Amino acid sequence: MTVSAARMRVGFIGLGIMGRPMAGHLVNAGYAVTVHNRSRAAVEALVAGGASDGGSPAGVVRVADVIILMLPDTPDVEQVLFGPQGVTEATRPGQIVVDMSTISPVATRDIAARLAEEGVAMLDAPVSGGQKGAAEATLSIMVGGEQAVFDACFPLFQVMGKNIVRIGEIGAGQVCKACNQVVVAITIQAVAEALTLANKLGVDSAKVRQALLGGFAQSRILDLHGQRMLDGNFQPGFRVNLHHKDLNIALTSGGAAGVPLPATAIVQQLFGALRGRGDGDLDHSALAKLLSALSGLD
Ligand code: NAP
């Protein structure tokens, strides 16, 4: 790597629920950060806090050594990298693209190969920990890519997260994230089923959650998402649409490898039903809302 961590200029593209606070931490840590987003409000807020406005993905790349992406899905990442005014219109050999979005591991390997032709290195570095982890800089970051590139970017990851693990070569971070999303989806559904059952049987579901938190069924999801379910607060958080996308990635990967994922497939169907009801922009804990409706509780 030609760029030392201390002098790294950072580009950040995709300033939504996750990207905006993550970019903010980098600004607050003293990095020169240039940002871009499709809608303007988050750009203006970060510029007010000390970031620069790149104006477009290519504009970001012209003044950055490392370009971080935090976009919704595979087509968004491909468009920002290779579309009009995209990243690759302005890349220089020696730059690094760090994709922290959750996208397909197969597409990630293809993208990395295309960037390598331009002399640009890539890491896939999806995260877990949600909105709270992004706000508190406690994200778990699962990274795929060359060790030397990982080492160069490690100081940036430390600003945004706590548990930073290089899983393996390019794409390995996205495989890890797919595994994470399987566990999270099935656990949310389990919590939704438990609390809905208690509710329907006339038992105080808040007391059930409280008791379960001290026993073998305790989990962060029972704690945080269980509370959301009790409050009926389904503002995201993590959108149903995004988790539906992530389970598609897991099911496609499992299908290609001959690994059946039956529980994942069921929760995928339930996320699909929420989308069909127009609830795709709710938090993924809205699985409980769907179950309540199916149980005649609404
Ligand atoms: P989000 O709130 O929808 O943010 C995505 C951002 O990307 C939006 O600000 C959007 O702009 C911007 N964007 C989309 N297409 C663009 C383009 N072509 N050019 C420039 N900007 C573009 O999503 P998020 O919740 O932050 O999630 C981002 C990624 O992190 C996803 O892959 C998700 O799966 C993953 N993730 C999310 C969470 C979570 O809890 N939210 C947790 C872990 C991982 P607009 O403002 O115009 O829409």
For ligand 1, pick from 35, 71, 87, 132 the residue to mutate: most ligand atoms within 8 Å of CB: 71
Q: What is the pLDDT of residue 6?
A: 56
For the record, the structure tokens of 164 come out as: 């930073």
DSSP 8-state secondary structure symbol assigned to residue 239: B
Q: Which residues have C-beta atoms less than 6 Å from ligand 1?
A: 13-19, 36-39, 42, 70-72, 76, 79-80, 101-102, 127-128, 130-131, 237-238, 242, 246
Distances (CA, A) of 210 to 125, 217, 220, 293: 35, 11, 13, 24
CATH superfamily of 176-294: N-(1-d-carboxylethyl)-l-norvaline Dehydrogenase; domain 2 (1.10.1040.10)
- Which fold, 5-170? Rossmann fold (3.40.50)
If you measure from the C-alpha of residue 196 to the centroid of ligand 1, how many angstroms do you get, rounded to a whole number? 31
If you measure from the C-alpha of residue 76 to the centroid of ligand 1, how many angstroms do you get, rounded to a whole number? 9
C-alpha 201/C-alpha 120 separation (Å) is 58
For the record, the structure tokens of 155 come out as: 């100081």
For the record, the structure tokens of 178 come out as: 């797919």
Q: Where in the chain is the domain with CATH 1.10.1040.10?
A: 176-294
Active-site choice (132, 177, 200, 289)? 177
200 part of the active site:
no
Taking all residues of the chain, what is their mean pLDDT, rounded to a whole number? 96
What would the pLDDT profile of 1-39 be if each residue is shown by its tens digit?
Answer: 444 555 799 999 999 999 999 999 999 999 999 999 999
The closest of 40, 33, 52 to 15, measured between CA atoms, is 40
C-alpha 151/C-alpha 12 separation (Å) is 19
Q: Would you write out the chain's pLDDT as a tens digit for each of its 298 residues?
A: 444 555 799 999 999 999 999 999 999 999 999 999 999 999 999 999 999 999 999 999 999 999 999 999 999 999 999 999 999 999 999 999 999 999 999 999 999 999 999 999 999 999 999 899 999 999 999 999 999 999 999 999 999 999 999 999 999 999 999 999 999 999 999 999 999 999 999 999 999 999 999 999 999 999 999 999 999 999 999 999 999 999 999 999 999 999 999 999 999 999 999 999 999 999 999 999 999 999 999 7
For the chain, give the percent of residues with pLDDT over 70.
98
For the record, the structure tokens of 282 come out as: 């709710």
> What is the end-to-end Cα distance of the chain in Å, rounded?
58
Q: Where in the chain is the domain with CATH 3.40.50.720?
A: 5-170
If you measure from the C-alpha of residue 69 to the centroid of ligand 1, how many angstroms do you get, rounded to a whole number? 9
